[in-house]
Structure 1
Amino acid sequence: MFDKDTIYVIGDSKTASNNPIMQQFNSYFIGLVIDRKNHKIIEAECSSTISLTSQFVQSIFNGRSMMEFEDIVADIENRYFGASQKALIVAFKNACIKYNQIINN
């Protein structure tokens, strides 16, 4: 399904304790399939209680480069107004840190 040059990275964070995502998963996650040759995000999915949320998050990430951190965060801030906006940004930052460790080793 995924090319041999792709890797899977998960970023995680916490969100408000009254957020349904926290009640269901106890954390907030974003999973990214990334082509390590060109840093392109092939597929993205997040922990969500509504499938539309995951689809919308995919529209923000899919086809983008992991090297576009600031632009992606700006898109999240300007387009995603769910209760877990900050958690999504922190989870993406966590995924970026992990990704940079992988590609620099």
Structure 2
Amino acid sequence: MYAENTVLVVGQAKPSREDAIYNLHGEFYISLVVERDTGRILDVDCNTILSVTKNFVASMFVGKNLRTDTEVLEREIKERYFALTQKPLIACMKDAHNRYMMACQGPRQGGR
């Protein structure tokens, strides 16, 4: 399904105790399929409760660049995603960015 030049990167964070995700999973996860050499995000999934939330998160991430667009993604999440998992989603994105950068040993560009 995915080309050989892609990698799967997972970011994780703790949601608040008030969020249903905390009670169901304990942690919030986001999985990103990323082109290894470019950083372009091809696919996204996360362990939200509702499918509309997963689809909305995917619409914000797909097509962005995990190497260079972390500030853009963070701003978009703050401006468009109003859920208890807003901060954990940002933390997941930053965690995924760090894992990608360590795994692919690319130079840090833009982002954080």
Common fold by TM > 0.5: yes
2:30 maps to what in 1? 30
- Percent identity between the aligned chains? 30
After TM superposition, the structure 1 = structure 2 runs for residues 1-105 of structure 1, keeping only pairs within 5 Å, are 1-66=1-66, 67-104=68-105
Structure 1 residues not aligned, in runs of 5+:
none
The alignment's TM-score, normalised by the length of structure 2, stands at: 0.91
Q: CA deviation at 1:83?
A: 1.1
Counterpart Cα distance in 2 of 1:31 and 1:47: 9
Counterpart Cα distance in 2 of 1:69 and 1:91: 11
The alignment's TM-score, normalised by the length of structure 1, stands at: 0.97
RMSD of aligned Cα (Å):
0.9
Counterpart Cα distance in 2 of 1:27 and 1:87: 9
Divergent runs of 4+, >2 A: none
Q: How many residues align?
A: 105
Counterpart of 1:104 in structure 2: which amino acid?
A: Q
Counterpart Cα distance in 2 of 1:40 and 1:92: 14
Q: CA deviation at 1:37?
A: 2.2
